[in-house]
Structure 1
């Protein structure tokens, strides 16, 4: 079942003044712009690698929780997940030093303890969490709505 998922980037120019485009094989992103301003400033006309990573991590966690719930005999009526990825200065460069995940789910018939157990397991077991194991801090706040 292993399959490569592909993305590509085209860049022109220097680091601060250059511009790039990000594309994914599914077409979800097709020549989507990014550059210094969308990564390090508040320019919302483009994306950045951290934003895309956050979306991927939130998506992975959400699906992992849906599968964990199903395996335990529950079905969520909804799961909403957000991720905040922090890019911090690290000597002459930068590093991702924190990812904060926050999810809210409605799951009929589950108690709080079981929900928290399954959410924590989904966070630990999702492939993106495993791939990001070197990030010093990955937190999860899971809220069960009744």
Structure 2
């Protein structure tokens, strides 16, 4: 049995002076969060789609790694993941990749074993699979 998740966005106005609102009605995590040209391509306060993609990837990856470790008989004390979406603006805005930086504490695991589990999670995380852009990563055992 499958399931669906969704979020909504509304944009009003032109690209540079317009603004939008994004919501996650299923979870209620945010409602009407503002985004604009300035929050997406500048330093204005507010969210943007790339930030949300990065949050989704970091969360998904951490859970995937936990699951893979569990199936191998290991329990992580913690997994910290940072996902950075790399954007370029020419010849038009586009994502060129995602870089994952992972630090985990897993008792009884060697650095080599951890690296193999980390690569497996990178390849099999749902968000990694969704992306049609390269996904790179730094993973280290703390």
Question: TM-score, structure 1 length as denominator?
Answer: 0.93
Q: Distance in 1 between matches of 2:117 and 2:87?
A: 29
Which residue of 2 is the match for residue 141 of structure 1? Answer: 138
Which residue of 2 is the match for residue 84 of structure 1? Answer: 84
Q: What is the CA deviation profile of residues 40-98 of structure 1, one whole-angstrom value per residue up to 9, with x for unaligned ones?
A: 0011x21000000001011111000000000000000011100111111242x221002
Which residue of 2 is the match for residue 56 of structure 1? Answer: 56
Q: Distance in 1 between matches of 2:34 and 2:89?
A: 23
Runs of 4+ in 1 over 6 A off after TM superposition: none
Could you say what secondary structure the match of 2:89 adopts?
strand
Could you say what secondary structure the match of 1:3 adopts?
coil
Residue segments in structure 1 that go unaligned for 5+ positions in a row: none
Residue segments in structure 2 that go unaligned for 5+ positions in a row: none
Q: Distance in 2 between matches of 1:64 and 1:35?
A: 32
Which residue of 2 is the match for residue 35 of structure 1? Answer: 36
Question: TM-score, structure 2 length as denominator?
Answer: 0.95
Which residue of 2 is the match for residue 3 of structure 1? Answer: 3
